[in-house]
Chain A
């Protein structure tokens, strides 16, 4: 099983460019999440989707938008990238609230 797949794995952007990070899961999970990981910090929740058709803000949503395209896919968009958004982005999913989250391998994003 592929689990949670993120694309791309690496990306370099210039300030002001836009970018969409893709995430897909093949486990028929209901909820999906986007986190960012910065050095010396744990993961911080950007946005989540409790179920298909719904999205909600997490701790650090500013500068991001999301789309829950269908049950499998949850994308994260940076409309106008800023150097402060240089980070490693992780997507995760769960079947229901009593289950642990499954993580993708991350997208390493650098903004110059």
Chain B
């Protein structure tokens, strides 16, 4: 996962917005994904964006993509305690079998 970088930790107050950032390296990546992992569980797909899009919004989630800077962000509006988890950014290297390269994950802690 060394080609996809994320900050390791983010702490926010309940009700505030959270912004989790990710940088990737392969400009030919077709899709970029955000997965959520709760303790002891598998990875849950949150959202994904196609590389020709700049923004995607899905309820409380907003994904922004800056292809020039190879920067991806996930904004969670009105962050709740249930949002506490590890968030993984992943880029799809394509090649016909959708090889995913993951970042190390950002641990989001939501406090009252």
* Residues of chain A whose beta carbon lies under 8 Å from any beta carbon of chain B: 4, 31, 40-45, 48, 50, 56, 58, 90, 92, 94, 97-106
With known contacts A31-B98, A97-B96, A101-B98, A42–B103 Cβ distance under 8 A: yes
**In-complex Cβ contact of A42 among B1, B45, B97, B99 (8 A):** B1
* Interface majority SS (helix, strand, loop, mixed), chain B: loop
Contact B1 A105 (CB under 8 A): no
A103→B44 CA distance, assembly (Å): 7
* B104 lies within 8 A of A100 (CB): no
Kindly name the residue among B4, B35, B44, B95 whose own CB sees the greatest number of chain A CB atoms within 10 A.
Answer: B35
Interface residues of B (CB under 8 A from A): 1, 4, 8, 30-31, 33, 35, 41-45, 48, 88, 90, 94-105
A41 with B104, Cβ < 8 A, contacts A90-B43, A103-B42, A105-B42 known: yes
Query: Would you give the shortest CB distance from A29 to chain B, in whole angstroms?
Result: 11
Known A-B contacts A97-B97, A101-B98; the reply to A40 vs B8 at CB < 8 A is yes
Partner of A97, one of B8, B45, B98, B101: B98
Which residues from A are CB-within-8-Å of B88? 42-43
What residue of chain A has the Cβ atom nearest to residue B33's Cβ?
A100
Q: In the complex, what residue of chain A is closest to B89 when comparing beta carbons? A: A42
How close is B76's CB to chain A, nearest CB, in angstroms?
19
B41 proximity list for chain A (CB < 8 A): 105-106
